[in-house]
């Protein structure tokens, strides 16, 4: 599993969902949590973060700049090419999952989710990173 000190960026236009993801992250032992309200706001934080974020958990369906837009932007910058990126989505249609996979998503969480299901997804991401 990710180190409890991992710096995490939580992106969602809905305050309650940011709170919900943050609550689950805290239950999993993480404490270094930053919130962003959409893809554009998140990119500003990602680009200026020092040290960089060790994990981004972003909603997909947001106005202005979606989670997928953010993912593509993050992946297009060589500095963040390998930053673990988890998309949270209420949509689980196959073509969308394929689209996210092509854009380089590390994993996705389908809403509604529990702390346990988030933990499982994060463990899968970490396992992939460790196994190279």
Partner 1 sequence: MSEAKKIDFGRAPYDISKQSDYFLVRLHGDLGAELAKDFEKKITVQLESADQDFVIDASSLAEIHPAWTRSLMAIAKHVKATKKQVRVVGASDGVHQWLVSQGLSSALPCVADLETACKQLKPQSPTTAQAKPRFDAQLMNIFLNASREVIEAQVQTPVTPGTPFVREPRDSMGGDISGVIGLTGEQMNGTVVITFPEETFLKLMSKMLGEEFTELNPDLHDGAAEFTNMIFGKAKVELNEKGYGFKMAIPSIVTGKNHTIQNKSKGPRVAIPFDSGVGPFTVEVSFGS
Q: Closer to partner 1 by CB, 89 or 107: give it.
A: 89
- Chain residues that interact with partner 1, rule: CB under 8 A: 13-17, 19-20, 23, 61, 63, 89-93, 111-114
Q: Closer to partner 1 by CB, 6 or 89: give it.
A: 89
Q: Closer to partner 1 by CB, 13 or 69: give it.
A: 13
Q: What is the DSSP string of 93-130?
A: -HHHHHHHHHTT-SEEEESS--HHHHHHHHHHHHHHHH
**What is the closest distance, in whole angstroms, from the C-beta atom of residue 111 to partner 1 in the complex?**
5
**What is the closest distance, in whole angstroms, from the C-beta atom of residue 10 to partner 1 in the complex?**
14
- CB pairs under 8 A, 24+ apart, for 45-50? 45/9, 46/9, 46/74, 46/80, 46/83, 47/77, 49/7, 49/9
Q: What tokens does 35 get?
A: 């919130």
Q: Closer to partner 1 by CB, 25 or 46: give it.
A: 25
**What is the closest distance, in whole angstroms, from the C-beta atom of residue 114 to partner 1 in the complex?**
7
């Amino acid at each position: 599993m990710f180190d409890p000190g991992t710096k995490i960026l939580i992106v969602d236009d809905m305050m309650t969902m940011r709170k919900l993801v943050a609550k689950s992250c805290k239950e999993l032992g993480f404490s270094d949590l930053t919130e962003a309200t959409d893809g554009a706001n998140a990119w500003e934080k990602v680009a200026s973060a020092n040290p960089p974020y060790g994990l981004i958990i972003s909603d997909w369906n947001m106005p202005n700049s979606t989670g997928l837009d953010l993912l593509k932007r993050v992946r297009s910058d060589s500095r963040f090419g390998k930053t673990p990126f988890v998309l949270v989505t209420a949509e689980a249609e196959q073509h969308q999952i394929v689209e996210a996979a092509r854009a380089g998503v590390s994993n996705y969480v389908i809403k509604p989710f529990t702390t346990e299901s988030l933990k499982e997804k994060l463990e899968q991401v970490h396992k992939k990173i460790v196994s190279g």
